[in-house]
């Protein structure tokens, strides 16, 4: 584990998930905390599939932070890049769910979004050695919302470029993390110019690019791959010059938390296994996205993000069932 193939950088937190479907935030009495945060979810998803992965992020020196370190360690994620903040708390996000189990983010309780430890990620403490041997850097856009973590993210991007590490950006648009959403969009549009691969939902594609066509987005950014996910409507992709559409797998959905991060883990897993050159082959491009869609689908069949992620021994028979 000293030379992870993948680095995931950004937020790790607790999703405080409502146990009462269909109830608004004010009336929910019962909650369950699940470890989450997109980059952390993807890191755990990759390790479960057998890819050595490191996580970089900042958490509080509190019980929640201790628990999250334990989750990463037990999963087998390299934690050399985890920073602890002495006074800022680990982030907790309140998540309510509708009757179908689909979730919506409902804020941070009594605290402002700027008060949490993840916003204090220090660029000078980034473990540079990780970048020398990694193949992929996976990151979202939430930590661009705060000055210190933004500096750390941009430093990581520069390190990745210096060491020829491919950048996989998952937009993960969450307006409540930002203080000014107009400024956010401009910042994100500048940031994605760095990507080699981009994953976004159809809503995010519409918001940022006024189109949900992955080919149009890939050509605009001049990048190797774009994945536009649409939940139960499946995923369209443009990968290595190949356009395709993969319908969603039909599963019994318990909780959609982390499905997109499972999808990302599935894509990167396939890149690591097959090599990036293989994406030019249309059959392989399709196989990569099918595999990722299966990982995402299986993640929705249990509550929580990390605990629900499948291993390779679960994904392969699942795919065979549908072949």
Tell me how many helices (H) and strands (E) the chain has: 10, 13
Is the per-residue pLDDT at 257 higher than 80? no
Q: So what's the pLDDT on residue 115?
A: 96
What sign for the dihedral angle of Cα 282, 288, 290, 292? negative
Q: So what's the pLDDT on residue 256?
A: 74
What tens digit of pLDDT does each residue of 100-126 get?
777 788 889 889 999 999 999 999 999
Residues 115, 181, 195, CA angle at the centre, nearest 5°?
Answer: 95
Q: So what's the pLDDT on residue 2?
A: 66
- Residue 131 has phi, psi (to 5 degrees) of -75, -20
What tens digit of pLDDT does each residue of 304-313 get?
778 888 889 9
Round to whole Å and give the CA distance between 35 and 115.
19
Which CATH number is 6-321 given? 3.40.1190.20
Sorted by where each begins, the domain ranges of the chain are 6-321
Is the per-residue pLDDT at 30 higher than 60? yes
Q: Which of 91, 108, 34 is nearest to 57 (CA)?
A: 91
Q: Which of 171, 160, 170 is nearest to 136 (CA)?
A: 160
Percent of the chain with pLDDT over 70: 99
Tokens encoding 75: 């999963």
Round to whole Å and give the CA distance between 207 and 107.
21
Is the per-residue pLDDT at 253 higher than 90? no
């Amino acid at each position: 584990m000293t030379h992870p193939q993948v680095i995931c950088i950004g937020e790790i937190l607790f999703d405080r998930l409502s146990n009462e479907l269909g109830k608004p935030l004010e009336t929910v009495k019962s909650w369950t905390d699940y470890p989450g945060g997109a980059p952390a979810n993807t890191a755990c998803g990759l390790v479960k599939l057998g890819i050595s992965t490191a996580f970089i992020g900042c958490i509080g020196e509190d019980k929640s932070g201790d628990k999250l370190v334990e989750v990463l360690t037990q999963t087998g994620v390299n934690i050399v890049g985890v920073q602890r903040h002495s006074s800022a708390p680990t982030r907790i996000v309140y998540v309510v769910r509708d009757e179908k189990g689909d979730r919506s983010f409902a804020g941070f309780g009594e605290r402002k979004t700027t008060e949490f430890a993840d916003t204090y990620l220090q660029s000078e403490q980034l473990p540079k050695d990780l970048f020398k041997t990694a193949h992929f850097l996976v990151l979202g856009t939430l930590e661009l919302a705060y000055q210190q973590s933004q500096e750390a993210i941009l430093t990581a991007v520069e390190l990745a470029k210096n060491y020829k590490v491919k950048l996989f950006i998952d937009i993960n648009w969450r307006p409540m993390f930002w203080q000014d959403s107009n400024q956010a969009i401009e910042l994100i549009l500048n940031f994605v110019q760095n990507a080699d691969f981009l994953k976004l939902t159809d809503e995010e594609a519409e918001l940022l690019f006024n189109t949900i066509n992955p080919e149009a987005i890939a050509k605009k950014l001049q990048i190797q791959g774009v994945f536009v996910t649409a939940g139960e409507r499946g995923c369209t992709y443009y990968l290595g010059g190949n356009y395709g559409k993969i319908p969603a797998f039909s599963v019994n959905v318990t909780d959609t938390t982390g499905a997109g991060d499972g999808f990302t883990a599935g894509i990167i897993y396939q890149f690591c296994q097959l090599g990036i050159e293989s994406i030019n082959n249309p059959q392989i491009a399709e196989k990569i996205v099918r595999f990722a869609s299966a990982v995402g689908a299986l993640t929705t069949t249990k509550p929580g993000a990390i605990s629900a992620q499948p291993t390779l021994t679960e994904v392969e028979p699942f795919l065979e069932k549908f072949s």
